[in-house]
Amino acid sequence: MPILHNMPTSDLQALDAAHHLHPFTHNADLAGKGARVITRARGVMLTDSDGNELLDGMAGLWCCNIGYGRDELARAAHEQMLELPYYNTFFQTTHPPAIALARRIAELAPGDLKHVFFSTGGSDANDTNIRLVRHYWALKGKPEKTVFISRHNAYHGSTVGAASLGGMAAMHAQGGIPIPDIEYIGQPAWWAEGGGMSPEAFGLMRARELEAKIAEIGEGRVAAFIAEPVQGAGGVIVPPESYWPEIQRICDEHEILLIADEVITGFGRTGNWFGAQTWNIRPDIMTIAKGLSSGYAPIGASVASEEVAGVIAEGGEFFHGYTYSAHPVSAAVALENLRILEDERIIARVAEDTGPYLAQKWATLAEHPLVGEAVISGMMASVALTPDKASRAAFAAGPGTAGLICRDFCFEEGLVMRHVGDRMIIAPPLVISRAEIDMLIERALAAFDRTESRLRAEGLMEAA
């Protein structure tokens, strides 16, 4: 086999450094220390090329909802490859996996989100949204409605369009983005930004920034508001309860579309099929990817309402699409994944059993001296590390110093946890058991203890 399964780790790392440019990575730094090589995975556990076992607290990149190593998905891919490995959905053709998956998504999606435009992931689905929404308004005779309102610190992907929709300053500093006509409001990050306000008052204030922004730009120019029901890559920022009802009210009262980016929150992550259900949101368009196939094959989609899809359908040809839109192998894998999520009641178990269990354990982390807040929505959670809980202070050493130290200790303890600045975040496979949750919490606590000792030893427990 041409795949390098049995090469020593150091050789794999050298080859990787020689030829592989990694996403979101300082590649020269990585070449110096060597990438961690993951070779196999089962359930919630990863194995690296040295035989170390790691509990995957991130479900890969927030996607492996049903856990690793499911034969049924491998069989679905195998059978589909033999039957019809590829065909496109352009030029008046379709195929059974595309038809079945579009119908299934329409059944599962809330409200009247019944029309599916397939992509290969979340970024290109959000690019589809930009073109779809602007085209929609043009067809409605309002071509001047082109502006998207998003949020600072939002993540909507890495393509030019999606990274423009996102509100990540570091991304905007590279490559000439954002594109024109994208505006940003504040994020509902109460712990870091709420000051002396109550979470509820702060949530309302942040939601009303949308109304102020619409007034500033002019309603006749605004096309849509896009947001993640719970910000993921931004640090698992769970909004105050007051936030989404107010956003929904504002979207209802103004002529703008609401796009829920459910790439992370979709397919059970928050304890319902979609975050829109958990947060009582009625989107006009939903972006999906990741958990749609549990990451076993690349696929994503924009799911549009009857109104939006109807206007597009009647409006002539929509000059947009991807070679791999509704790829038959990905679609077959996604269908099998959705069957397993339902038949094994995986989302119901998150809602009724393992979610509440994790929530109860996660809350205890707030007692750790280093932890300022511990928040959770279903199976996505975060803690904020701080040198001073009372004042909710940031570290004087600058954002990310403590987080990086903690992340490295997590690895040493056998736990994959990500850091976003000084927030530590998890989004484990939804199939994680109570015993595995205990293990996750134990390992996280050990890493927090070691982080605290290191920060104290190095004089880094200073507030900014």
Tell me the one-letter amino acid at 240. P
* Contact (CB, 8 A) for 285 and 303: yes
Residue 61 or 205: which CB sits closer to ligand PXG?
Answer: 61
* Contact (CB, 8 A) for 228 and 261: yes
Q: How far is the CB of 208 from ligand PXG (least distance, A)?
A: 23
Point out the residue whose Cβ comes nearest to ligand PXG. Answer: 122
Residue 148 or 455: which CB sits closer to ligand PXG?
Answer: 148
Residue 206 or 418: which CB sits closer to ligand PXG?
Answer: 418
Q: How far is the CB of 381 from ligand PXG (least distance, A)?
A: 14
Residue 361 or 419: which CB sits closer to ligand PXG?
Answer: 419
* Contact (CB, 8 A) for 425 and 56: no
Residue 206 or 269: which CB sits closer to ligand PXG?
Answer: 269
Q: Residue 286, SS3? A: strand
- Distance between CA atoms of 166 and 374, rounded to whole angstroms? 25
> Of 265, 152, 248, 256, which is closest to residue 214 (Cα–Cα)?
256
Q: How far is the CB of 412 from ligand PXG (least distance, A)?
A: 20
| Residue 72 to residues 77, 95, 337, Cα–Cα distance (Å) | 9, 21, 8
> Of 180, 182, 181, which is closest to residue 167 (Cα–Cα)?
182
Residue 234 or 271: which CB sits closer to ligand PXG?
Answer: 234
| Residue 354 to residues 142, 358, 367, 369, 411, Cα–Cα distance (Å) | 48, 6, 21, 26, 23
Residue 57 or 232: which CB sits closer to ligand PXG?
Answer: 232
Neighbours of 438 (CB within 10 A): 13
Local structure of residue 463 (DSSP, 8 states)? B
Q: How far is the CB of 261 from ligand PXG (least distance, A)?
A: 4
Residue 263 or 326: which CB sits closer to ligand PXG?
Answer: 263
* Contact (CB, 8 A) for 348 and 330: no
| CA quadruple 47, 48, 51, 56: dihedral sign | negative
Q: Residue 237, SS3? A: strand
* Contact (CB, 8 A) for 95 and 328: yes
Q: How far is the CB of 177 from ligand PXG (least distance, A)?
A: 15
List residues binding ligand PXG (CB under 6 A): 61, 121-123, 126, 155-157, 228, 232-233, 261, 263-264, 289, 300
Q: How far is the CB of 122 from ligand PXG (least distance, A)?
A: 2
Residue 209 or 228: which CB sits closer to ligand PXG?
Answer: 228
> Of 325, 318, 338, 321, which is closest to residue 109 (Cα–Cα)?
338
Q: How far is the CB of 260 from ligand PXG (least distance, A)?
A: 10
Tell me the one-letter amino acid at 289. A
φ, ψ dihedrals at 419, nearest 5°: -115, 140
- Name beta bridge partners: 286: 260, 303
φ, ψ dihedrals at 92, nearest 5°: 65, 30
* Contact (CB, 8 A) for 152 and 331: no
Q: How far is the CB of 126 from ligand PXG (least distance, A)?
A: 6
Q: How far is the CB of 167 from ligand PXG (least distance, A)?
A: 12
Residue 38 or 138: which CB sits closer to ligand PXG?
Answer: 38
Q: How far is the CB of 141 from ligand PXG (least distance, A)?
A: 30
